[in-house]
Amino acid sequence: MRGVSDRVGLALFVGVSIFAGGNAVGIRFSNRELDPLWGASLRFGAAALLLMALMSARRLPMPHGRALAGAIAFGLLNFGVTFSLAYYALVYIHAGLGQTILSMVPLVTLLLSVGQRQEQFRPALLVGVLFAAAGVAVISQAPLREAVPLLALLAVLGAVMAFAEAAVLAHRLPRIHPITLNAVGMTAAAIALFAASFTVGDRWELPRLAETWWALAYLVFAGSVLTFVFYVLLIGRWGASRTSYVFVVIPVVTIMLSAWLDDEPLTWSLLLGAPLILFGVYLGALRPPRRRDAPTPTVR
């Protein structure tokens, strides 16, 4: 059974990496016509409606009490806070730099998990993060020379913290079906994003270009529904810090998709950085821990 579980976990890991890797490309096409927070509001509003319909079709119960509060808190952190900050930051900074900073998510998740006594510290996790972050830095070395506005930098760092804490929170919640957790979470986040979009004065207009509709459809179905349902399932199997290594694979997928769909050149930095990232992911997330380093299972 352990072998089957590991294969399922690996399949979820690959799925999240690919679907989330397309998100940045989809957002890039969406942002060409839609204001950022308005585009995010449409994305998560539509995804929430889809998941609520799926909940109804499968007759999944609505959580109550602590479970409901936890699902709302997860959604506000994982979707609302994270994407409000990330969308703002990506107006001012290069996507490569944003992805480089987001590669800190595994390290921050590890530190938060250890600090909140959810997982035990293992040196291999930290070493893997350092290798992976170095690989993403090599891939994004050109944007690192650009001047970065302080508020944009603080915003993307805040997104890192929100994403990491959401992963830790998801592992501590009462047992909730992933569809329900994401439906409730995305509904709460969509309300928050609509409010943020209204506050900053975004233009509330529907897309007129076909490519924008295609991008929005991808972001709703693959980039939101499938990605985050798979993500929560993966957290349940692998734990928060191990799951968060997906954030260092996503930039590689994004760059390859951008080269294919958006004519971005493949550079020597990708050829050098990708092996560092993959080695870091293997070392920190995929390599079975030695017996003396194995973490104590979390009681749920």
Confirm whether 298 is domain-assigned: no
**Amino acid 232: pLDDT:** 83
What separation in angstroms does the CA of 53 have from each of 49, 60, 227?
Answer: 6, 10, 17
Per-residue pLDDT band for 180 (boundaries 50, 70, 90) equals: very high
Tell me, yes or no, whether 24 lies in a domain. Answer: yes
Q: Each residue of 13-29: pLDDT tens digit?
A: 999 999 998 888 888 88
pLDDT of residue 297: 42
112 or 198, greater pLDDT: 198
| Averaged confidence pLDDT in the chain | 83
Into how many domains does the chain fold? Answer: 1
In order, the DSSP letters of 224-283 are IIIHHHHHHHHHHHH-HHHHTTHHHHHHHHHHHHHHHHS-PPP-HHHHHHHHHHHHHHII
Cβ contacts of 62 within 8 Å, gap of 6 or more: 55, 68, 180, 184
172 in a domain, yes or no? yes
**Which structural domain range is residue 190 located in?**
2-289
Residue 299 belongs to some domain of the structure: no
Contact (CB, 8 A) for 171 and 118: yes
pLDDT band at 298 (very low <50, low <70, confident <90, very high): very low
User: 18: which 2 tokens?
Assistant: 């690919």
Structural domain contains residue 294: no
In a domain? residue 70 = yes
Q: Let me know if residue 140 belongs to a domain.
A: yes
- Asked if the structure places residue 120 within a domain, the reply is yes
Instruction: Assess contact for 20 and 246: CB atoms under 8 A.
Output: yes
Split at pLDDT 50, 70, 90, the class of 213 is very high
